[in-house]
Every structure is written in structure tokens, then in C-alpha cells.
Chain A
Amino acid sequence: MDFDLNEEQRLLKESIDGLLTDSYDFESRKKYMAEKGGWSKTVWLKLAEQGLLGLPFSEADGGFGGGGVETMIVMEALGKALVLEPYLATVVIGGGFLRHAGTDAQKAAHVPGIIDGSKTLAFAQLEKNSRYDLFDVTTTAKKKDDGWVIDGEKFVVLNGENADTLIVTARTKGNRRDTTGIGVFLVPANAKGVTRKSYPTQDGLHAADITFTGVEVGADAAIGNPEDSLALIERVVDEARVALCAEAVGLMDESLKTTVEYIKTRKQFGVAIGSFQSLQHRASDMFVAAEQARSMSMFATMANDFEDAKERANAIAAAKVQIGKSAKFVGQQSIQLHGGIGMTMEARIGHYFKRLTMIENTFGDTDYHQRRVADSGGLV
């Protein structure tokens, strides 16, 4: 049992923290947000240069063979700096599908572009009524000759605007909420029949609603078994949840730090407001919430390697619950302790609050995951 980072992991942490300190101050972030698709190609290429985009891929695929802890380190750092670039969509999720189920040809076609920063991906999964159920899929993929024809609508696809390749969940068999008959398909974003409507999201990222109308792809577009890929989707989305937990920990750390600094310097009634006990206790509760979240983020990171899929899913669901609760508390109280200034677009803290809020509602909110844990028979 060991919760420390090893030497290589410490170096990784230093290198990404260093990179982001240099290139991700709050003013630069505003500029990146205004670029096409809502993030900076220059920063993305810097991440590529440092090898961060190849981190989780095996050495055989041109990557560095990093594991869950390495991804946790990167996601925490991205959270701390409130990074906009599509690491989750491209490396964690897109890369996840390729790593877990991609054929050699699929990997050869996509992984080098991810690693060198020339290509990004997006995960087109959410549907109008699917909410958090990954098996609730109405988009269809019908066999035509050797290939597939995809029809349907997907919503709030993060990085949908800039992505070169979309990873689309679609039903090849059965009815809307069947757990079998679901496939995963690689679709070029510029394929005929793909329409993208892009917009900024509340937390400063960009997403797109995407319509697929008679989109034809080849037989080699399917990742994994096109008739039975729910387990694969769950596996990759679990990894995304774990990554989001780590990102949230980074966001909470920075929120707490910023808030404590603020109440140490903000004066009212002739003294720093941090000298008031009610504020001190609130800050202490924020610390407790953040530490509990950190513990569960570490737990989720390690649970990702559990062999038993049920145990893994349960542990990650539990982590998402703790992160959701802690994130809400730390986020809301950060604004409260900042007072009026916390309500302004110009202060950093509000942007942390908004990202934390959106994370709670991504890939299952607190209630959703709490129900999963409850229905699985608990954790003790």
C-alpha cells in the first residue's frame, strides 16, 4: 500500500505543472477560448511535444505506456489550470476506445495523429433522452454491403467542433434500451451526411450537436464487436469518469487555495475576513470535502485496474458520488467566501465553480451514481 508518486511520476507532475504555469495564466486562457473550437492549437502542440498526448498508449503504438496514475496526474494539473484543450475527449476517451478495442489498422490510422497533436477526437454518445444510461441508444447503424449506414442525433459532444474523427455509439440491433446490439464507430467528422452545430458551454469549453443522416462508413469503422460493445463503452466511460474525478480534485485544490488566499487579504471591519470563525470553519469544511474527494479519486484510479468489472464500476460510481458532493460544496462555498467579487466573470474563482458544476453532470450525476451503488448491494 503506497499513495506516493514514484520518481518518474513526480517528474511528470513537475513537467506538466511547469508547462501550464508558463502558458496558462487566466488572461491567456481567455485568448485560447476565443480561438476556433474554443482551444489553442499552440498549447495542444506543446502538450504533444512533452509527450503528454501519447502518455497512455503502449510503446508498441508509439506511446509511453503510462497507467491510471499518470492520467490522474495530468488531469489534476489540467483541472488546476482550468485547461480547455480536449485531453479528455481525445486522449482519454478516443484513445481509450482505440487502446481497448482498436485493431492494428485502426490504431495505425489514428494513434500517431493523436500523439503528435495533429488530430483530435470527440465522443458522440449523448442523445436527447438517454441522459446517463449508456445503453439508451436510438442512433442506428445499419448494414449496407460491407459497411454501415449511420442515422441519428447526438448532443453536447465535447470538442465536436474541432474533432477530426467522431466516435459514435449506434444501435445495430434491438430496441432503444436493450443492452445488446450497440456498436461503436469511427466516423470522419467531414463525412457526407454529418452536420455539426457548435456552441460554447457554460464552463468555457465548446461542444456540438451532431446529426448523422445516411452517413456511410466502411466495415473497418466499427471498434470492437458492432453488435455487443456496451461493456467496452462502459469501460472507456469509467476511465473518463476517473479522469474527471482527478480533474475535479485539481479544480477543488485551486479553488480552496484561491479562496483561502482571498480571505486572508480581504479586509472588512478593519481585519482580514479570514479571522472570523464562521469563515474559518467553512474553509475547514471545504478542506475536508476536498481531501475526501482526493481519497476517492485515488481509489477510483486504482479501481480502474480491478479485474472484476462490477467491482470496478461500483468503486468508480462511488468516487463520482463523493466528487460530485465535494465539488458542489467547494464550488459553492468558494463563491460565497469571495462575496460579490466571486459573482463576476472577471474573477477566476467563478470559472472554477462552473467547471466543477459541469463535471458533476457529465457521465452520471451524484444521484445517478448513488443509485447505482445502492442497487448493487453497497460498498461495505
Chain B
Amino acid sequence: MDLAFTKEEQAFREEVRAFFRDNVPPDTRRKLVEGRHLTKDEMVTWWRILNKKGWGVSHWPKQYGGTGWTSVQHYIFNEELQSYPAPQPLAFGVSMVGPVIYTFGNEEQKKKYLPRIANVDDWWCQGFSEPGSGSDLASLKTKAERRGDKWIINGQKTWTTLAQHADMIFCLCRTDASAKKQMGISFIVFSMKSKGVTVRPIQTIDGGHEVNEVFFDDVEVPVENLIGEENKGWDYAKFLLGNERTGIARVGVSKERLRRIRDLAGKVESSGKPIIQDSAFREKLAACEIELKALELTQLRVVADEGKHGKGKPNPASSVLKIKGSEIQQTTTELLMEVIGPFAAPYDVHGDDGSNEAMDWTAQIAPSYFNNRKVSIYGGSNEIQRNIIAKAVLGL
């Protein structure tokens, strides 16, 4: 047992840190620190800087543009990225559809899609959830019918994150209605510009526009847009969701937010003195920091385990990451609310791209708190995570 990073790993951390310092546009960083939404341009600009450096799809296999880093290096990279902070790569392309394509796609699909994912020439979105299919995803109803050399797609997806920016969607569609529900699903990709695709915004409780409803009305998709085998889509979806085990804890994000809380708590006054001097507040902050330290260590255990024994058999501790990671993220936004107190109230509806520089930064704190309620719901709600632990780990 050894907690220390090697000299090489420490040097790597310095290299990553220096790159962020020199290359993340300062305005992008400031907006992230203040909990603002970024414009599409701001995100894409940064991702292309990252891709030019060769770090855009760092965890992909080398032949597709990956870095060949060790699991510890990936961990360091993610932690530094999250805590700098800089925008994380667009998960839908880089972490989700990309790995499905290079693992299950044919050569033509790899050639066609992977470089464009890496450079965000295509913005991808995820067509999984439906109005009637949340945690019970396999009950989905969106239908793809084979007609000649085309799929005809009809149905509706929802909670489609940033679909308003998207060029492409990867979509779970029912291709065999007679099969058992998991067995009749296929994984199909297509252009969001296709005729018959309609995107309708959903305004969330924070006032923002991150998610959408997407309707498909006789959308025609070339047959070659099926990834892998017909009716095997559920397997690819499970692969996709299981792919990103350690990033989900978002330890770096919470670290960065805790630093900000400590900084603000030294400035904002309560009862005539900075709120950090209030022992009740200080202890709450410490409690959260301790939880986060425990989570960081749990994450390191999983990372070290993957590095040593491969990703084949997941460490049981990995199921802790989503539950605790989301709880801690939520606690940090609650603490921010507490620091800002009555100044959490001012509200200003921001524009469609989420940017409205005119409003005071404090107005972002309550929306961030409201918005972060999502983290214990998405990606398999925390209740589903508990089902998974009960079944897969405890054998109940």
C-alpha cells in the first residue's frame, strides 16, 4: 500500500496544470467558477484546443487518437481539469458514442465518425430516455422500421441534453416489438438535421435550458447507420453506461466548489464577522470536506485497482462513486446557498444559450443549487444505484 504518486505522475500533473493555465480561455474559466452556462462557441473552442494538444479523447485506444495514459494519469488529468476548472470533454461524443463506435462499429463508421467526434465537428446528443422510460429504460418505444435501404424512425425522446446544439444523435430504437424488451433494441445514429426531427426546449427549475424533448416523425435514416448488430443495442447501451466509472464522482468539481465556498465565506459577513468565523458553518464545511476526502480515496482505490487488474471486474467500491459523488456535489451547492444567504434571491432569466453577462454573479448560486438536484437523478438515479449494490454486491 502506498498513497504517494510517482515522480513521473507528479511531473505529469505539473504538465497538465501548466497546459490548462496557459490555454484555457480566462473568460471560460471565470464563467465556470461562477457557475454560469457556457455558449456553444466557448465550449467548442476549448475542446478544439484540447484536441489539438492530443488530449481531446485521451482515454480512447491509441490508434483512434487516444493517449495511452495509465489509469492514474487519466485520474490526474480529470482531477486537474475539473478543479482548474475547464470544461470537460463533451461526454456524449467522447465518453459515450465514441467508445461504442470503436468497439462495435465497422471500419467505415470508425473512419467517418471518430475524427469528427474528437474535434467536435459533430456535436452529439444522446437519445435514450423517453417520457415513459426513465429508470426502466428498456421499456422504450421509439420505433425504427426497416424499409428498403432505410430505417424509418418514429417516437419521442426526452431529457436530451444540449440537443439544441447537436448535429448528431445516437438513439436506442425498438426494432423488434415481439422480442423480450431488452432483446429488440438497436443502436442507430443519425443527423439531427434530418427531416422529421423536432427539438423542443424544456425549461428546468433553475430557469436554464439544458435539456429538450426530441420528436421523430417518419425520420429516414440510411441502413448503414446501425451500429453493431440489429437488436443488440441494449448490450451496447450497457457497455456505454458502464464505461465511465470513475469520472462520475466528479471529485475535482466538488473540490473546486469547496475552495470557492471557503474563499467566499472569508468575505461574506454574518453577525458582523466573516461567516467562516462561525463555528457551526465551519464544521458543516469540514464535514463536507471529509466526505469528499473519503470519496477521493475510494475513487483512487478503484483507479489503482483498474490500473493493476484491468477494467474487467469492477471493484465493488465503484458503485459508491455515483451515490456519494452526487450527494457531495449537492451539499456543496447547498453550502454556497448558505454563504450567500439573502442574496440568493435575485433572479434573472438568462438567454437561450444560458449567457447573460449583465446579471450579478450571485444570481447564479440558487440556480446552481436547483440545477444540481439532477445529479442524483440522472445516470441511473441514486435509488437505482442502491438496487445495483443490493443485487450485484450484496447478493440480495
* Chain A positions near chain B (C-beta within 8 angstroms): 1-5, 9, 69, 260, 263-264, 274-275, 277, 279-281, 283-285, 287-288, 291-296, 298-299, 301-302, 318, 321-322, 367, 370-371, 373-375, 378-380
Please, how many angstroms separate the alpha-carbon atoms of A299 and B289 in the complex? Answer: 14
Q: Is the CB of A281 within 8 A of B383?
A: yes
Q: Is the CB of A1 within 8 A of B293?
A: no
> For B287, what are the chain A residues with a Cβ–Cβ distance below 8 Å?
321, 370
With A283-B394, A284-B386, A374-B279: A291-B317 Cβ-Cβ less than 8 Å? yes
Q: Is the CB of B3 within 8 A of A1?
A: yes
Asked if B177 is an interface residue, CB under 8 A from chain A, the answer is no
Please, how many angstroms separate the alpha-carbon atoms of A283 and B395 in the complex? Answer: 11
Partner of B304, one of A2, A291, A370, A379: A2
Closest 3 CB pairs of A and B: A295-B297, A280-B390, A374-B286
The smallest beta-carbon distance between A96 and chain B, in angstroms, is: 20
Please, how many angstroms separate the alpha-carbon atoms of A279 and B389 in the complex? Answer: 12
The smallest beta-carbon distance between A366 and chain B, in angstroms, is: 9
11 A-B residue pairs with CB within 8 Å: A2-B1, A2-B308, A9-B1, A283-B389, A284-B389, A288-B324, A292-B294, A292-B320, A371-B279, A375-B282, A378-B258
Q: Is the CB of B255 within 8 A of A299?
A: no
B interface secondary structure, majority: helix
With A298-B1, A299-B297, A380-B292: A4-B308 Cβ-Cβ less than 8 Å? yes
> For A69, what are the chain B residues with a Cβ–Cβ distance below 8 Å?
1
> For A260, what are the chain B residues with a Cβ–Cβ distance below 8 Å?
394-396
Q: Is the CB of A379 within 8 A of B383?
A: no
Q: Is the CB of A281 within 8 A of B320?
A: no
Q: Is the CB of A380 within 8 A of B255?
A: yes
Q: Is the CB of A277 within 8 A of B283?
A: no
> For A302, what are the chain B residues with a Cβ–Cβ distance below 8 Å?
1-3
The listed residue with most B CB atoms (<10 A of its CB), out of A3, A260, A285, A375, is A3
Q: Is the CB of B1 within 8 A of A301?
A: yes
Q: Is the CB of A291 within 8 A of B298?
A: yes
Given contacts A283-B389, A292-B294, A380-B258, 12 further A-B contacts (CB under 8 A): A4-B308, A260-B395, A264-B396, A283-B390, A284-B386, A284-B387, A288-B389, A298-B3, A367-B283, A370-B287, A373-B289, A375-B282
Please, how many angstroms separate the alpha-carbon atoms of A347 and B287 in the complex? Answer: 34
Asked if B262 is an interface residue, CB under 8 A from chain A, the answer is yes
Q: Is the CB of A291 within 8 A of B320?
A: yes
Please, how many angstroms separate the alpha-carbon atoms of A373 and B294 in the complex? Answer: 14
Please, how many angstroms separate the alpha-carbon atoms of A264 and B396 in the complex? Answer: 7
Partner of A378, one of B2, B262, B394: B262
Partner of A374, one of B282, B297, B385: B282
Q: Would you list which residues of chain B between 271 and 299 have a CB under 8 Å from chain A?
A: 279, 282-283, 285-287, 289-295, 297-298
Q: Is the CB of A370 within 8 A of B279?
A: no
The smallest beta-carbon distance between B228 and chain A, in angstroms, is: 32
Q: Is the CB of B286 within 8 A of A379?
A: yes
Please, how many angstroms separate the alpha-carbon atoms of A378 and B390 in the complex? Answer: 34
With both beta carbons as reference points, the residue of chain A lying nearest to B6 in the complex is identified as: A1
> For B282, what are the chain A residues with a Cβ–Cβ distance below 8 Å?
374-375
> Interface size of B by Cβ–Cβ distance < 8 Å?
49
> For A292, what are the chain B residues with a Cβ–Cβ distance below 8 Å?
291, 294-295, 298, 320, 324
Q: Is the CB of A1 within 8 A of B5?
A: yes
Please, how many angstroms separate the alpha-carbon atoms of A292 and B297 in the complex? Answer: 8
The smallest beta-carbon distance between B249 and chain A, in angstroms, is: 12
Q: Is the CB of B396 within 8 A of A274?
A: yes
Q: Would you list which residues of chain B between 300 and 343 have a CB under 8 Å from chain A?
A: 300-301, 303-305, 308, 316-317, 320, 323-324
Please, how many angstroms separate the alpha-carbon atoms of A298 and B2 in the complex? Answer: 9
The listed residue with most B CB atoms (<10 A of its CB), out of A277, A284, A295, is A284
Asked if B393 is an interface residue, CB under 8 A from chain A, the answer is yes
Q: Scan B341-367; emit 1 where CB is below 8 A from any A CB, else 0.
A: 000000000000000000000000000
Please, how many angstroms separate the alpha-carbon atoms of A295 and B299 in the complex? Answer: 9
Partner of B286, one of A2, A275, A373: A373
Asked if B4 is an interface residue, CB under 8 A from chain A, the answer is yes
Partner of A299, one of B3, B262, B279, B304: B3
Please, how many angstroms separate the alpha-carbon atoms of A288 and B391 in the complex? Answer: 14
Q: Is the CB of A298 within 8 A of B297?
A: yes
Asked if B40 is an interface residue, CB under 8 A from chain A, the answer is no
> For A379, what are the chain B residues with a Cβ–Cβ distance below 8 Å?
286, 289-290, 292-293
Please, how many angstroms separate the alpha-carbon atoms of A295 and B285 in the complex? Answer: 20
Please, how many angstroms separate the alpha-carbon atoms of A4 and B324 in the complex? Answer: 23
Please, how many angstroms separate the alpha-carbon atoms of A370 and B284 in the complex? Answer: 9
Partner of A322, one of B4, B294, B320, B383: B294
Partner of B259, one of A263, A274, A380: A380
Asked if B72 is an interface residue, CB under 8 A from chain A, the answer is yes
The smallest beta-carbon distance between B73 and chain A, in angstroms, is: 11
Partner of A4, one of B1, B72, B283, B390: B1
Please, how many angstroms separate the alpha-carbon atoms of A379 and B294 in the complex? Answer: 11
Please, how many angstroms separate the alpha-carbon atoms of A323 and B267 in the complex? Answer: 33
The listed residue with most B CB atoms (<10 A of its CB), out of A275, A302, A375, A378, is A378
Please, how many angstroms separate the alpha-carbon atoms of A285 and B323 in the complex? Answer: 9
The smallest beta-carbon distance between B290 and chain A, in angstroms, is: 5
Q: Is the CB of A277 within 8 A of B387?
A: yes
Q: Is the CB of A287 within 8 A of B389?
A: yes
> For B289, what are the chain A residues with a Cβ–Cβ distance below 8 Å?
318, 373, 378-380
Partner of A296, one of B5, B72, B293, B303: B293
With both beta carbons as reference points, the residue of chain A lying nearest to B323 in the complex is identified as: A288
The smallest beta-carbon distance between B256 and chain A, in angstroms, is: 9
Q: Is the CB of A281 within 8 A of B286?
A: no
> For B4, what are the chain A residues with a Cβ–Cβ distance below 8 Å?
1
> For A293, what are the chain B residues with a Cβ–Cβ distance below 8 Å?
294
The smallest beta-carbon distance between B383 and chain A, in angstroms, is: 7
> For A370, what are the chain B residues with a Cβ–Cβ distance below 8 Å?
283, 286-287, 290
The smallest beta-carbon distance between B3 and chain A, in angstroms, is: 4
Q: Is the CB of B300 within 8 A of A3?
A: yes
Partner of A1, one of B304, B323, B389: B304
